[in-house]
Amino acid sequence: MPGRLPLAEQLDVFRATLGRNEILTEVMARTATLDLPGWYVTAGCLFQTVWNVVTGRPATQGIKDYDVFYFDDTDLSWEAEDAVIKAGQELFGDLRAEVEIRNEARVHLWYERKFGVPCPPHDSTESAIDRFAATTCCLGVRPEPGGQWRVYAPHGLSDVFNLVVRPNPVLAPREVYEAKAARWKEEWPQLTVLPWPADPSA
């Protein structure tokens, strides 16, 4: 069971597992050419690839989109972010997947309007990843020079390999977590979904 391996070995298995998703590795390789500050491929496309491989399914099955986060606080205009999004649409246009690129320096400008709770400004891509609704989502990966990968996984990888969905009540509302978890459970019935805590501040 990869979830019981030492962390260094988990990282090796994690990379090998993600490597079985050819769309994911292509998204990573192409995103690197955009030279976006502090970027990661993140969220569902990572942990869902692992869930697929662990449960014996095709690596790309059930993956809705591929998220790319970057952090550029030098220009918080929608026009600057939209220019990056359009460059991505051209770059990824021939892939059989939807790739969503977002500047995490701008999230606080629209988050409350969409989710009903205020979001303090992020100070990095990592701080944005830290605030996903489930700790299982808190992952980011990008290739680095020399063939290495930078892996950001503040809650480790054991839950990902063990098919455990754990709430992360630091920003997203309970209903966001529960809606996402229900959707994932329908697609991956082997998941263990842990309940939202009665007192998130405890």
Mean pLDDT of 130-145: 94
Candidates 172, 134, 139; CA nearest to 69 is: 139
pLDDT value at residue 146: 84
Residue 202 in domain: no
Contacts of 51 (CB under 8 A, 6+ apart): 57, 160, 163, 188, 190, 191
pLDDT at 7 over 90: no
Give the DSSP letter string of the chain.
-GGGS-HHHHHHHHHHHHTT-HHHHHHHHHHHTT--TT-EEETHHHHHHHHHHHTTS-TTTT---EEEEE--TT---HHHHHHHHHHHHHHHTTSSS-EEEEEGGGGGGTHHHHHSS--PPPSSHHHHHTTSSBGGG--EEEE-GGG-EEEE-TT-SHHHHTTEE-B-TTSS-HHHHHHHHHHHHHH-TT-EEPPPPSSTT-
Q: Which residue has the higher pLDDT, 140 or 201?
A: 140
Tokens of 98: 């939807």
pLDDT value at residue 10: 85
pLDDT value at residue 5: 64
Residue 33 in domain: yes
Across 1-10, 29-38, 66-75, 117-126, least confident range: 1-10
Residue 198 in domain: no
pLDDT at 168 over 60: yes
Give tens-digit pLDDT for 98-120.
Answer: 999 999 999 999 988 888 888 89
pLDDT at 200 over 70: no
| Enclosing domain of residue 32 | 2-193
Residue 137 in domain: yes
Residue 200 in domain: no
Residue 57 in domain: yes
Residue 199 in domain: no
Domain count, the chain: 1
pLDDT value at residue 201: 59
Give tens-digit pLDDT for 39-97.
Answer: 999 999 999 999 999 999 999 999 999 999 999 999 999 999 999 999 999 999 999 89
pLDDT at 2 over 70: no
Predicted confidence band at 147 (pLDDT cuts at 50, 70, 90)? confident
Q: Which residue has the higher pLDDT, 9 or 138?
A: 138
pLDDT value at residue 52: 97
Residue 201 in domain: no
